[in-house]
């Protein structure tokens, strides 16, 4: 059929041979009702050329699908053709084309431009991506590096017990006097010391925590130094026992730093928020050092050998 | 790819906040909600109000409620009549469509407003949507959204005329180059059709019927142009003199008679728009035709009426009820593709 041959134009799909074309359906309907093209145009209010194009299936000469489908509906109503059959025949020949939104549009409101609206979303996504990256880096570092240290709050008070070298304590919690060059191998790079305390465990309580001024090489945190006398920083207390004694030490925040029975020859380094409230059950058997200096407990001792005092003394 | 990731966090909605129905379009999903803009409110013994039902459920209660429950239509003539209730209704709808997407904390909404609405009315709609949970709100005029949703290429330098007949307003607009060349908004729509039927029945039959019944009559046998086939419907109303329910039968010609006044208002607006359209664009409209959208376009033979009155081809868009919401959805796509928008206010 001539009309069908003309349908093979850009954007059209090949029609099946058995299906009648929409143009043919309209022409048949028009002829059945004995209407001329002019008469059909008059009834539908469509132009003569539009009706002609519809009958010829000349989709290129027709307008956008929204209009063409409307024209078919009008014709179907006037010519008493099933609307669905006509529209299906049209759809079978024309590739469905999604109407493109315009490039620019005037909105009724929206003081903010479209681009501005992206900001909060962009920030949220950027935050999520950064969080994922940080987690990945941490996971990688923990997986490939040295074993992770015990996780203890940075503010938590710690106790270093001499004579028990196996006790592993995070280096951040140990206050150690600056190491001298003779005590510490000088091979460790300064950078290693800065990052090591947080990541590496320290055996014993003698690892250096910071580089000393004056060119002293800092110690790597992982270096196991020989056990030495307990060391304390300026604000810490050291309790050495010559006999068994009950001890309870609370810091200013109410946290109990030590509560229990200490055995002879033990020594405890206590760090906490000052002042420390100390109770000794057997005061004569305890040697107290505070701020690196001996602290005399005799003034606080009672008849039953107990002593209650605060460090520093009030 | 960035857009794909971003979409995981964002709910993009287009809301056609209509007088009769509220439609919500969700991007990548289509129309997911189409419910009547009706809210049922329960008042307890202490006078406190609580939302009893929203949407379809509330509409079923319309005219059938006890004294402590009132059904409210929070929008009238396309704009907000009851701000608080509108907010509650929107909250309900937004929650309903975003249910199960708690991982998407951001909600962006394109909401459509009548062309003839004032700045105050637009602001009320905007704030209402914001308070209902939207992080970002864009307001777009209904004729533009309707044209986009109908598939009209509004970016061309050719005139297109859209007539969007909603529940509260009818918008007539001539659009070219992405902008409105001329538009007229009349406060006539489906509600006025219902009111006209109610008053016709009262006048002719001395019977009282409710809005829901009037709407049912309109949908079933309503027509805008005298046709070959006359349809009939049985109606039950309350006789005004006797005060008891009575049956009576109405036909489509009576409804046509009842709807004359609101229909002539719409036709007048269309004619006025054609008169005021520049001649070049007028010829484009004459060649292509007028496109009808909105629920009002479903009134039988309305296209024929306008076509006969204007002498121009009039076509009904595909799925006219959802054109505005779908058009708003296309705007959402544009927001992502390019943030190059001009603002009007």
Tell whether A89 is covered by a domain.
yes
Is B136–A112 a contact, with Cβ atoms under 8 angstroms apart? yes
Tell whether A3 is covered by a domain.
no
**Chain A residues within 8 A of B108 when measuring between CB atoms:** 117
Of A173-177, B148-152, B237-241, B270-274, the least confident: A173-177
pLDDT of B3: 61
Domain residue ranges in chain B: 1-35+77-145+323-338, 38-72, 154-188+264-321, 190-258
- Interface predicted TM-score of the whole assembly (ipTM), two decimals: 0.80
SS3 state at A245 = strand
Query: Of B227, B303, B343, which to mutate for an interface test with A (greatest number of A Cβ within 10 Å)?
Result: B343
Is A110–B343 a contact, with Cβ atoms under 8 angstroms apart? yes
Q: Look at residue B31 and tell me whether its pLDDT is greater than 80.
A: yes
Is B139–A110 a contact, with Cβ atoms under 8 angstroms apart? yes
SS3 state at A77 = helix
Tell whether A272 is covered by a domain.
yes
Q: Which of B152, B340, B343 sits opposite A111 (nearest CB)?
A: B343
pLDDT of B106: 77
pLDDT of B143: 92
pLDDT category at B251 given cuts 50, 70, 90 is very high
**Chain A residues within 8 A of B289 when measuring between CB atoms:** 45-46, 67, 70-71
Q: Which of B135, B341, B345 sits opposite A120 (nearest CB)?
A: B135
Which of B232, B197, B234 minimizes the C-alpha distance to B212? Answer: B197
| CA-based nearest distance A38→chain B, Å | 14
| CA-based nearest distance A91→chain B, Å | 13
Integer Cα distance of B316 and A70 in angstroms: 6
The reply to whether B190-258 shares the fold of B1-35+77-145+323-338 is no
**Count of CB pairs separated by less than 8 Å, A with B:** 149
Choose the final residue of a domain: A65, A94, A123: A94
**Chain A residues within 8 A of B317 when measuring between CB atoms:** 66, 70
**Chain A residues within 8 A of B335 when measuring between CB atoms:** 114, 117
| CA-based nearest distance A92→chain B, Å | 17
Determine how many CB atoms are found less than 10 A away from the CB of residue A75.
25
pLDDT category at B80 given cuts 50, 70, 90 is confident
Residue of B nearest to A102 (CA): B155
pLDDT of B340: 44
Size (chain B), residues: 345
pLDDT category at A221 given cuts 50, 70, 90 is very low
Long-range contacts of B178-181 (CB under 8 A, 24+ apart): B178/A102, B178/A103, B178/A104, B178/A105, B178/A106, B178/B154, B179/A106, B180/B115, B180/B141, B180/B143, B180/B144, B181/B277, B181/B278, B181/B281
Instruction: Find where tokens 């002498």 sit.
Output: B311
Integer Cα distance of B303 and B305 in angstroms: 5
Tell whether A209 is covered by a domain.
no
**Chain B residues within 8 A of A105 when measuring between CB atoms:** 140, 144, 178, 331, 334, 341-342
Choose the final residue of a domain: A42, A71, A94: A94
C-alpha radius of gyration, chain B, whole number: 21
Residue of B nearest to A41 (CA): B313
Q: Look at residue A16 and tell me whether its pLDDT is greater than 60.
A: no
**Chain B residues within 8 A of A76 when measuring between CB atoms:** none
Q: Topology of B1-35+77-145+323-338 in CATH?
A: Nucleotidyltransferase; domain 5 (3.30.420)
Which structural domain range is residue A65 located in?
Answer: 22-94
Which of A297, A237, A305, A242 minimizes the C-alpha distance to A272? Answer: A237
Tell whether A34 is covered by a domain.
yes
| Architecture of the domain defined by B154-188+264-321 | 2-Layer Sandwich (3.30)
| CA-based nearest distance A121→chain B, Å | 7
Is A113–B341 a contact, with Cβ atoms under 8 angstroms apart? yes
Q: Which of B151, B303, B333 sits opposite A66 (nearest CB)?
A: B151
Query: Hey, which CATH number is domain B190-258, 3.30.420.40, 3.40.50.720, 3.40.1010.10, 3.90.640.10?
Result: 3.90.640.10
Q: Could you report the per-residue pLDDT of B112-161, keeping only the tens digit for each?
A: 888 888 888 888 888 888 888 888 888 998 999 999 999 998 888 889 99
């Amino acid at each position: 059929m001539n009309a069908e041959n003309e349908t093979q134009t850009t954007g059209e799909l090949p029609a099946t041979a058995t299906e009648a074309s929409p143009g043919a359906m309209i022409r048949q309907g028009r002829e059945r009702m004995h209407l001329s093209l002019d008469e059909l145009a008059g009834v539908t209010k469509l132009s003569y050329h539009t009706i002609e194009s519809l009958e010829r299936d000349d989709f290129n000469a027709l307008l956008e699908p929204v209009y063409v489908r409307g024209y078919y509906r009008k014709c179907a109503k006037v010519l008493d053709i099933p609307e669905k059959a006509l529209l299906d025949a049209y759809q079978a020949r024309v590739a469905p084309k999604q109407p493109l939104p315009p490039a620019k549009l005037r909105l009724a409101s929206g003081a903010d431009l479209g681009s501005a609206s992206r900001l909060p979303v962009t920030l949220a996504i950027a935050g999520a991506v950064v969080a994922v990256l940080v987690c990945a880096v941490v996971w990688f570092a923990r997986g490939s590096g040295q074993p992770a240290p015990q996780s203890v709050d940075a503010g938590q008070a710690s106790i270093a017990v001499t004579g028990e070298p196996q006790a592993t304590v995070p280096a951040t919690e140990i206050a150690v006097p600056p190491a001298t060059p003779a005590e510490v191998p000088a091979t460790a790079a300064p950078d290693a010391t800065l990052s090591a305390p947080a990541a590496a465990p320290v055996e014993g309580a003698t690892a250096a925590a910071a580089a000393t001024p004056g060119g002293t090489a800092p110690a790597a945190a992982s270096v196991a130094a020989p056990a030495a006398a307990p060391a304390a920083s300026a604000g810490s207390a050291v309790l050495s026992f010559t006999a068994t004694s009950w001890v309870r030490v609370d810091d200013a925040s109410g946290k109990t730093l030590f509560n229990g029975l200490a055995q002879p020859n033990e020594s405890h380094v206590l760090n906490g928020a000052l002042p420390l409230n100390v109770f000794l059950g057997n005061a004569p058997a305890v040697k107290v050092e505070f701020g690196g200096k001996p602290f005399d407990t005799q003034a606080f001792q009672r008849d039953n050998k107990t002593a209650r005092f605060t460090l520093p003394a009030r | 790819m960035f857009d794909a990731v971003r979409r995981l966090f964002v709910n993009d909605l287009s809301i056609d906040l209509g007088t009769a129905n509220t439609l919500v379009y969700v991007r990548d999903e289509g129309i997911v909600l189409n419910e009547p803009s009706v809210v049922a409110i329960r008042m307890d013994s202490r006078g406190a109000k609580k939302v009893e039902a929203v949407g379809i459920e509330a509409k079923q209660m319309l005219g059938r409620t006890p004294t402590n429950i009132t059904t409210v239509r929070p929008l009238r003539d396309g704009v907000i009549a009851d701000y608080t209730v509108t907010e509650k209704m929107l909250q309900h709808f937004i929650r309903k469509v975003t249910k199960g997407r708690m991982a998407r904390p951001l909600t962006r909404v394109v909401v459509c407003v009548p062309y003839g609405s004032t700045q105050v009315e637009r602001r009320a709609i905007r704030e209402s949507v914001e308070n209902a949970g939207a992080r970002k709100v864009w307001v777009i005029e209904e004729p533009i959204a309707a044209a986009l949703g109908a598939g009209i290429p509004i970016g061309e330098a050719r005139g297109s005329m859209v007539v969007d007949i909603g529940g509260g307003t009818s918008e007539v607009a001539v659009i070219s180059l992405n902008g409105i060349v001329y538009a007229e908004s009349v406060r006539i729509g489906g509600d006025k059709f219902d009111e006209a039927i109610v008053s016709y029945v009262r006048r002719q039959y001395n019977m009282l019927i409710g809005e829901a019944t009037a709407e049912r009559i309109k949908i079933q046998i309503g027509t805008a142009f005298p046709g070959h086939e006359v349809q009939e419907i049985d109606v039950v109303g309350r006789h005004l003199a006797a005060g008891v329910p009575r049956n009576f039968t109405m036909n489509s010609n009576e409804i046509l008679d009842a709807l004359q006044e609101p229909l002539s208002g719409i036709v007048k607006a269309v004619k006025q728009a054609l008169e005021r359209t520049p001649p070049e664009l007028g010829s484009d409209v004459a060649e292509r035709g007028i496109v009808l959208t909105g629920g009002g376009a479903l009134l039988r033979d309305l296209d024929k009426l306008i076509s006969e009155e204007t002498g121009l081809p009039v076509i009904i868009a595909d799925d006219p009820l959802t054109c505005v919401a779908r058009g708003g959805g296309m705007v959402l796509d544009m927001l992502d593709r390019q943030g190059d928008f001009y603002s009007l206010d």
